[in-house]
Amino acid sequence: MSRLFLVRHGPTHAKNFVGWTDLPADLSDRAAIARLGDALPHAPVVSSDLIRAVDTATALQGERPRLPHDARLRETHFGAWEGLTWAQIEARDAALAREVFERPGDVSPPDGESWNTFSARVEAAVETLEGDHIVVAHMGVILSLVQKAMRCSAYDALGHEIAPLSLTVISRQGDWKTGGWALERINHVPQ
């Protein structure tokens, strides 16, 4: 059995849709970072290539080995909705927004990616990981893996909260493609 220790990057304090926009994380809460670091095993660390994930991974790395950043672990690409608030998206594309978020699947934001395309990208990244790994990424990345582990709909997976600097743990028996995924812990913030 092996495990993925999924860490959401530090907070960005953005109040709009931030997918591929490269915002830094606020890593000023050193005590929270230390508690999270203490909750993680000695395992290789890999992160998305966006700066908020890279810097969070660096803050947590310590003596752990570091793998190259992986662009496949980026957040969902919101396309034309990048940087917009929900109210702005709703005013611009109300029907499409409902379709994208209420029935996530093959429909995508304008010039963005669908949930299914995004999830396949994330799965391709984790399929390359053998053994235990710490993956520092984004809320959507973690929720796409939660969906697979829980064997639930994308809509149900999107109903879970994944807080900044939280830990979600997924275990697997065998390889990622053949199943055997199990959710051990979700959205744990070490105290």
Give catalytic residue positions.
Answer: 9, 75
| One-letter identity of residue 38 | D
Return the exposure string of 155-166: e unless at least 16 CB atoms fall within 10 Å of the residue's CB, then b: eebbebebebbb
Are 69 and 47 in contact by the 8 Å Cβ rule? The answer is yes
Residues 141, 41: Cα–Cα separation, whole Å: 20
Sign of CA dihedral 175, 178, 182, 186: positive
How is residue 167 written in tokens? 């830990």
Q: Please provide the distance, in angstroms rounded to a whole number, between the alpha carbons at the two ends of the chain.
A: 27
